[in-house]
Chains A and B, each alone.
Chain A
Amino acid sequence: MTADHGKPEKTQLAEETLQLEKELAEMTTLAEERLNQLKYLQAEFDNFRKWSEKEKGSVITLANENLIKDLLVILDDFEQALPSLEDEKDREGVGMVYQKMVKILARYGLEPITCMGGKFDPQFHEVLCRKQCSEESDTIVEEIGKGYRLKSKVIRPSKVMIAEHASKKEGEENG
């Protein structure tokens, strides 16, 4: 009798063992997979933390950028107004107000981009038109709109007119 029943029991046990081993393998893989995901997530979080700290730094540096950008048009207005004022006292007074504002903004890192007479540089200037003249090509001959930098970042490029020296230009292309 025992012999009769022993065999199926053994097979059953072996099957169960196999099944359990399979399950264990599956679970181990799953656990490893999850642990891996967790590690990636941790790394991602750590990176994000670092990034956001860096970002915080740049936000502080350029916190005033938008405000100062919006104020640039006021500087434009002053510059337009000054030469039109006929009364000398007025010109002096308004000029003082303008200078005060320029100084305050300079304290926050704003500086005008110089351009007149220099060579055109697309990193700082934007060409609106060209003028045939005796000056060397690409020389800035007129400043149409003033450009500004905020802590070395260009927040508004200068709008300029540049010289076009016909003969010189050809010479350049040949060389």
Chain B
Amino acid sequence: MGKEKIIGIDLGTSNSEAAVMLGGKPTIIPSAEGATVAGKMFPSYVAFTADGQLLVGEPARRQMVSNPEATITAAKRKIGTDHVYHIHNKDYTPQQISGFLLKKIKRDAEAFLGETVTKAVITVPAYFNDNQRTATKDAGKIAGLDVVRLVNEPTAASMAYGLDRAGEYKILVFDLGGGTLDVTIMEFGGGTFTVLATSGDTHLGGTDMDTLVYEWIATEFKKLESVDIRNDKMAVNRVKEAAEKAKIELSTVLETEINLPYVSATQEGPKHLSLKLTRSKLEQLVEPTIKRCIEPFEQALKDAKLTKDDIQKVILVGGPTRMPVVQKFIEDHIGRKAERGIDPMECVSIGAAIQGAILGGDITDMVLLDVTPLTLGIETLGGVRTSLIEKNTTIPTKKSQIFTTAADVQTSVTVHVLQGERPMAADNVSLGQFNLVGIPPAPRGIPQIEVSFDIDTSGILNVSAKDLGTGKEQKMTITASTKLSETDVNKMVNEAEQFEEEDRKRKEEVEVTNTADSLIYTAEKTLSELADKLNPELTGKVNAAITAVKAALEEKNIDKIKSETEHLQTVLSEAGSAIYQQSAQQQSAQQQEQAAGPQAGSAGSEKEAGGEQRKADEDVVDADFEVHDEK
């Protein structure tokens, strides 16, 4: 039984969208009719059909041409006025129309969350007056939503970027949507946003740009093929779709091809449209639209009695601001980079969802969940780093893993705690080490030592090692496990990437050596225990193979170690099968010994899957501690 969610709604002039906090992350609520080309928003259209149906969103937009007199768009421009829509002999206020849009959002949200939604935060333009704000709240009421707060759109966008947490600055929000430009200058300080000035253009946006691109394609095609596609409805439809796609594509690539085979046909045969559109050409095409942004921009600064140097933060909102040319325009004019990282089409609804979560008590100061910036692990046999807690794990967290000894009669182990991304222990930062002593003498691989890493909410790491056989335990506390500076963290992560190949080789070398080593151990053990059951020829073969692996180890020739180890394995299994062929009684006794062979072998390579938590017993990681001489 959770608390009721408060959703955040960006109720836009041409498009609307809603978001909600899910598991601590703002998530966009998908529209039931599916997404448009540009994103997850749906068009703010409401229509009444002749047969009495109410259509909202995409379906309403689709029938606009056939039913213009009963299709309403941009009701937001009329909200708070006494405008009345007369449709099919009935009257509707702008609040009611907005209410239909909100009701659809409520329905979509309920379908998405699987629970009832009755509370919402709705965003409004900063310049909305009291009438417009009250009317927006009423629209919510009509839709069955309790509007717990209205938030200014630029404030919501700033909140999406976390600008409401600390500091004092002047923010410029540049909101270029499908058909409207809003420029807002705000001041943040003492926990509140104050609007200093607003300006804009109610008929400027991305649609203008699409038209410019379409016109260019049509003109070019006419030049090349002497055919005017503007007269061919099917061709116009294909070209318009291609134009919008090309515009969106050019935000990420420098050049795109508009390819429409058989776009049109003449007496001479079919005509193909194949045009290259570069980003610079696109920028040239949309320049008239961009130029029209200058005036509202300058006006806002003037009204706020500020110069561009007074602005400390720039936030971009709306699909067209994804275009590099728009970003460059604004950044050049203000002389500072815009905030990045959040989809400009989503940041208003995300900010509203964050505000909703704060009001609903979902976000409190009590638990600010943090993550470990780097991987934490311990040093294991051969100087290999075995990770216990992977980087970017949300804390608090606790992970344990069972390790064992590397040598026979080893009575103490050293736990060397490491932080970093490199696979070899020596390349990581050492956070400290301690010894667990008093392990009862036993053959290697038998003792079970559980190592636990426990990071609390403040990033303090508790490391403990416990011998499961005797219950002996040793602990250590590391307070600086997450306190590295961002630069250090980045440096370490970069280094890890840089040395990836080299590190992989070194780790492989160690692994090959470890496998060879443990196989020799198993082979020698098998020989000494089963000497009487093996014929002299096989014993000789095994011994020769052991010597060969040892020699290869001496030489430190990795390829040779690998091949000799393989050879030893083959010889060993040969010896194994020979033993199996003997009496049934002997068989059962020998089976146990045989099992030890492959187990040790596979355990050696298991280290690669280091960070995973393993259950006790069967998945003991082999031979992981350095031998420690007791003093």
Q: Which A residues have a C-beta under 8 Å from some C-beta of B?
A: 34, 37, 40-41, 43-45, 47-48, 50-52, 54, 73, 76-77, 80-81, 84, 86, 120, 122-123, 125-130, 138, 142, 144-145, 153-155, 157, 159, 161-162, 164, 172-173
Contacts and interface: CB of A to CB of B under 8 A. Distances in A.
Contact of B50 (A34, A77, A153, A172): A172
A154 B66 contact: no
Given A81-B270, A159-B237, 12 more contacts: A44-B362, A73-B242, A77-B262, A120-B66, A122-B49, A122-B55, A122-B60, A122-B63, A126-B62, A126-B63, A127-B66, A130-B65
Interface of B: 1-3, 22-23, 33-34, 47, 49-50, 55, 58-66, 113-114, 233-234, 237-238, 241-242, 260-263, 265, 269-270, 362, 364, 366-367
A77 to B, nearest CB: 5
A19 B79 CA distance: 57
Given A47-B2, A77-B261, A130-B65, A144 B59 contact: no
B262 A80 contact: yes
B63 A127 contact: yes
A123 B269 CA distance: 37
B59 A122 contact: yes
Contacts of B61: 126
Nearest to A37: B366
Contact of A144 (B22, B234, B262, B270): B234
Nearest to B113: A51
10 contacts: A37-B364, A43-B1, A45-B23, A51-B114, A80-B263, A122-B60, A145-B238, A155-B34, A157-B58, A159-B237
The 3 tightest CB contacts between A and B, nearest first, are A48-B23, A80-B262, A126-B62
A82 B426 CA distance: 66
A80 to B, nearest CB: 4
Contact of B233 (A40, A47, A77, A161): A161
A167 to B, nearest CB: 15
Given A44-B2, A54-B114, A80 B63 contact: no
B18 to A, nearest CB: 16
Contacts of A73: 241-242
B275 to A, nearest CB: 15
A51 B364 CA distance: 23
Contacts of B34: 153-155
Q: Which of A34, A123, A161, A164 has the most CB of B within 10 A?
A: A123
A157 B1 contact: no
Contacts of B1: 43
Nearest to A85: B270
Contacts of B22: 48, 51
B237 A145 contact: yes
Contacts of A34: 366
Contacts of A52: 23
Contacts of A162: 66
A84 B269 contact: yes
Contacts of A138: 66
B59 A173 contact: no
Nearest to B60: A122
Contacts of B238: 76, 145
A159 B62 CA distance: 9
